[in-house]
């Protein structure tokens, strides 16, 4: 539902802006050539987390911390730059290459609490995990069809994502026993630039000479990654992201479309 609303708002914005402009003298002007521009939009991240049970030792006696599952949903506003080159193939077909870089910093966290029993009594375990998504970049091919001042395109390629994972747990004594349990704690951190695939599409319209406005929609999948958790255990994190962006491009060189 959230993605549908974002997509609808972006599309309506494009049509409102484009419709408010006077008609171009040459609506069939070429989209051929190099361009560069800026964009702003929204990113919605999605990450499924799963871990296995792990053992701890308190007061020389073992205890087992239960497995965890959960989902992170970091998201918010992004902004950045893009550039590329288009080539017309035939009368109204287009192929091209585009690269972009988006700035943003969005995080989400999960907390789990459990009571575990070891040979010395009961301890209360609190676990905190957080995922932060930073900058993103893509390098994509594009194919499209022009219709007068309009361009309808599909795109796909390789995506990059800066991510940071943090996981901590702390054990505190609960029910007293002849030997008081010793509090246990651990902290894990992993920062990594992820590589995945991206696919999507968009709509663009020529606007006032050498400019064009557009809306594009990108889905990026970075697959499963291993993340540290517990006392040296490895858990799994499956990360993807959906982006809706409004962009303004400027033609570099002769011509009027971009």
Calpha distance 174→111 (Å, rounded): 19
In sequence order, which residues have a C-beta less than 8 Å from that of residue 150 and are 6 or more positions away?
203, 204, 205, 206
**pLDDT of 76 above 90:** yes
For the record, the structure tokens of 251 come out as 């033609």
**pLDDT of 150 above 70:** yes
Share of the chain above pLDDT 70, in %: 73
**pLDDT of 63 above 50:** yes
The separation between the first and the last C-alpha atoms of the chain, rounded to the nearest angstrom, is 32
Beta bridge partners of 201: 154, 217
Q: What's the confidence (pLDDT) of residue 248?
A: 97
Average pLDDT, integer, range 183-189: 75
Question: 75 falls in which pLDDT band (50, 70, 90)?
Answer: very high
**pLDDT of 25 above 70:** no
Mean pLDDT of the chain: 81
Picking from 183, 157, 188, 189, the residue whose alpha carbon sits closest to that of residue 170 is: 183
Give per-residue pLDDT as tens, 88-123.
Answer: 888 889 999 999 999 999 999 988 777 766 655 666
pTM > 0.85: no
């Amino acid at each position: 539902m959230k993605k549908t609303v974002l997509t609808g708002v972006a599309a309506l914005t494009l049509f409102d802006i484009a419709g408010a402009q006077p008609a171009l003298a040459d609506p069939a002007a070429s989209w051929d050539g190099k361009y560069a521009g800026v964009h702003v939009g929204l990113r919605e991240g999605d990450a499924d987390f799963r871990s296995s049970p792990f053992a701890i030792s308190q007061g020389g006696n073992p205890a087992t911390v239960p497995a965890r599952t959960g989902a992170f949903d970091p998201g918010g506003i992004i902004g950045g730059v893009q550039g590329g080159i288009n080539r017309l193939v035939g009368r109204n077909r287009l192929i091209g290459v585009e690269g972009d870089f988006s700035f943003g910093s969005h995080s989400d966290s999960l907390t789990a609490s459990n009571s575990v029993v070891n040979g010395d009594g009961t301890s209360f375990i609190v676990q905190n995990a957080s995922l932060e998504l930073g900058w993103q970049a893509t390098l994509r091919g594009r194919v499209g069809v022009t219709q007068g001042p309009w361009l309808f395109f599909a795109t796909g390629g390789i995506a990059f994502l800066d991510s940071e994972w943090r996981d901590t747990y702390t054990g505190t004594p609960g029910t007293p026993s002849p030997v008081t349990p010793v509090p246990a704690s651990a902290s894990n951190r992993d920062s990594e630039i992820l590589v995945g695939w991206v696919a999507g599409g968009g709509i663009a319209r020529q606007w006032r000479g050498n400019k064009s406005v557009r809306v594009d929609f990108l889905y990026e999948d970075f697959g499963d990654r291993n993340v540290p958790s517990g006392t040296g255990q490895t858990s799994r994190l499956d990360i993807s992201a959906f982006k809706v962006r409004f962009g303004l491009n400027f033609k570099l060189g002769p011509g009027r479309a971009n």
